[in-house]
C-alpha cells in the first residue's frame, strides 16, 4: 500500500503513526510512505520491516485546484502514490489530502476498469447494520447506467468489506418506495436495476429508512449522496451535542448522566468516522482510499486495515461483474 504521508491536516505525524500501527498489526502487508525523506525518515527509526519510504516533492494543498496542481506538481506525494499503483509497485494507495486531487490522480494515473464510465466514492454509514453509500460526491451528474454501475461496484465491495451474507442487497435512494416515483434518472435507473442479474435489487429506499437495515448498499448520484452523507453527519453531531448539553445543565441531570455515560460513549464511538478511516474510490484499477482531511492515527490505521480486508483481487472481480452486466444489457437491447 502506498501512503500519501504528506496529505491531510495532521500530516505527516498522524499519517505516519497510523501507518506504523497498521504495519505492526498486518505483518504480511507492505506499507510504502510517500513523501519528503528529511521529514519522514527520522520518524521511521523504530518502524517494522514491512515499512519503507518513497521520495516525493511536497503535497497538494487542500484549497488548490486539483487538475492544475497535478499538472504543475507531477512529483507531489499523491501523484507519486498513484503512479506506483499504475506501475504495479503497489496495489492500493491512501491519501487524507485534497479529495479532488486524489480522485484526479487516480483517474489520470491509474485509469478506470473496463465497463465503468464514471467512478464512485463509497462511504460506510455507521448504523447498527452498516450500509455502503455511493456515490458520495465523485460523479455529480449521472446517467441511469451509471447508477447500475455503482450498484455493481458497491455490491462486490460490500461482500468483501462488510462481509454480507450472500449477495449484497442494493437499494436506490428515492422520494418514494413505488417504482414510478422520483425524477427521470431514478425511474430509468430503477428499471435497469430491477432487470439486472448482476445485483440483488430490493427497490427504492426513502431517506427516513436508510438506517433501518433494509439495504447493504445505497445507490444515488453524487450530488444527492453527498447531501445525504453530510446531513447524516451533521444531524448525528447536533443530537449528540444536544444530549450532552441537557445532561450537564443541572446537578441532578449530571448525576443521571453519569449512569448513562457508558451507553452514550458507546454511541459516540460508534458514530466516529475514524472507525472506518475514510471513503473508497470504486471503479479504478486499484484500491484507492480517501481519508478524512483531519484524520488521526486511529483513522489512518483503520483505513489501511480496510484496504487489506478488501484485497486487491476485488478489482478483477468487479471488472468481471461490470463486463457481464454490459453483455446482458446488449442482449436485452437486441
Structure confidence at residue 333 as a pLDDT band (50, 70, 90): very low
Percentage of the chain surpassing pLDDT 70?
92
What pLDDT does residue 158 have?
Answer: 92
What pLDDT does residue 273 have?
Answer: 64
Task: Take residue 30 and report the three cell numbers written for it.
Answer: 507492505
Structure confidence at residue 267 as a pLDDT band (50, 70, 90): low
* Mean pLDDT calculated for residue range 250-255: 73
Task: Take residue 325 and report the three cell numbers written for it.
Answer: 452486466
Whole-angstrom Cα distance, residue 98 to residue 8?
7
Residue-wise pLDDT for 297-332, tens only, equals 999 999 999 899 888 788 888 998 888 887 766 555
Q: Tell me if 48 is assigned to some domain.
A: yes
Helix (H, G, I), strand (E, B) or coil at 281: strand
Residue-wise pLDDT for 158-194, tens only, equals 988 888 878 999 999 999 999 889 999 999 999 999 9
Domain of 63: which CATH number? 3.40.718.10
Structure confidence at residue 260 as a pLDDT band (50, 70, 90): low
* Count of structural domains, the chain: 1
Residue 127 has pLDDT above 70, yes or no: yes
Q: Tell me if 238 is assigned to some domain.
A: no
* Mean pLDDT calculated for residue range 24-53: 94
Residue 10 has pLDDT above 90, yes or no: yes
The domain containing residue 58 runs over which residues? 1-116+283-312
Helix (H, G, I), strand (E, B) or coil at 238: helix
Helix (H, G, I), strand (E, B) or coil at 268: helix
Q: Tell me if 25 is assigned to some domain.
A: yes
Q: Are 145 and 139 in contact (CB under 8 A)?
A: no
Whether pTM exceeds 0.85? yes
CA of residue 99 relative to chain centroid, distance: 11
Q: Tell me if 164 is assigned to some domain.
A: no
What pLDDT does residue 277 have?
Answer: 75
Q: Tell me if 22 is assigned to some domain.
A: yes
- Give the residue among 310, 302, 292 at the shortest CA–CA distance from 21: 302
Percentage of the chain surpassing pLDDT 90?
61
Q: What is the mean pLDDT of the chain?
A: 88
Residue 74 CB: number of other CB atoms within 10 A? 12
CA of residue 194 relative to chain centroid, distance: 25
Whole-angstrom Cα distance, residue 99 to residue 294?
12
Q: Tell me if 46 is assigned to some domain.
A: yes
Whole-angstrom Cα distance, residue 5 to residue 33?
6
Residue 264 has pLDDT above 80, yes or no: no
93-102, 110-119, 216-225, 310-319: segment of lowest average pLDDT = 310-319
Q: Tell me if 235 is assigned to some domain.
A: no
Task: Take residue 181 and report the three cell numbers written for it.
Answer: 416515483
What pLDDT does residue 113 have?
Answer: 92
* Mean pLDDT calculated for residue range 142-156: 95
Q: Tell me if 254 is assigned to some domain.
A: no
* Mean pLDDT calculated for residue range 242-247: 76
Amino acid at each position: 500500500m502506498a501512503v500519501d504521508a504528506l496529505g491531510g491536516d495532521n500530516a505527516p505525524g498522524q499519517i505516519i503513526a497510523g501507518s506504523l500501527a497498521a504495519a505492526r498489526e498486518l505483518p504480511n502487508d507492505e506499507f510504502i510512505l510517500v513523501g519528503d525523506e528529511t521529514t519522514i525518515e527520522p520518524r521511521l527509526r523504530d518502524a517494522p520491516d514491512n515499512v519503507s519510504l518513497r521520495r516525493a516533492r511536497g503535497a497538494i494543498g487542500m484549497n488548490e485546484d486539483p487538475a492544475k496542481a497535478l499538472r504543475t506538481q507531477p512529483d507531489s506525494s499523491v501523484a507519486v502514490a498513484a503512479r506506483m499503483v499504475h506501475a504495479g509497485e503497489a496495489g492500493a494507495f491512501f491519501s487524507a489530502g485534497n479529495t479532488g486531487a486524489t480522485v484526479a490522480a487516480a483517474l489520470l494515473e491509474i485509469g478506470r476498469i473496463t465497463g465503468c464510465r464514471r467512478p464512485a466514492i463509497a462511504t460506510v454509514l455507521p448504523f447498527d447494520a452498516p450500509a455502503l453509500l455511493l456515490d458520495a460526491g465523485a460523479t455529480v451528474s449521472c446517467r441511469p447506467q451509471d447508477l447500475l454501475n455503482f450498484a455493481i461496484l458497491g455490491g462486490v465491495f460490500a461482500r468483501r468489506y462488510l462481509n454480507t451474507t450472500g449477495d449484497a442487497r442494493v437499494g436506490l435512494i428515492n422520494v418514494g418506495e413505488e417504482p414510478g416515483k422520483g425524477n427521470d434518472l431514478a425511474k430509468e435507473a430503477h428499471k435497469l436495476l430491477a432487470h439486472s442479474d448482476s445485483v440483488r435489487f430490493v427497490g427504492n429506499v426513502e431517506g427516513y429508512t436508510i438506517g433501518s437495515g433494509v439495504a447493504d448498499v445505497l445507490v444515488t448520484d453524487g450530488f444527492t449522496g453527498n447531501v445525504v452523507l453530510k446531513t447524516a453527519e451533521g444531524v448525528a453531531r447536533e443530537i449528540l451535542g444536544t444530549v450532552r448539553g441537557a445532561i450537564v445543565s443541572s446537578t441532578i441531570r449530571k448525576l443521571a448522566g453519569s449512569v448513562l455515560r457508558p451507553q452514550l460513549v458507546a454511541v459516540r464511538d460508534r458514530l466516529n468516522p475514524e472507525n472506518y478511516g475514510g471513503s473508497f474510490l470504486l471503479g479504478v484499477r486499484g484500491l484507492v482510499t480517501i481519508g478524512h482531511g483531519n484524520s488521526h492515527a486511529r483513522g489512518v490505521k483503520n483505513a489501511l486495515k480496510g484496504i487489506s480486508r478488501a484485497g486487491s483481487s476485488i478489482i478483477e472481480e468487479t471488472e468481471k461483474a461490470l463486463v457481464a452486466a454490459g453483455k446482458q444489457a446488449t442482449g436485452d437491447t437486441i
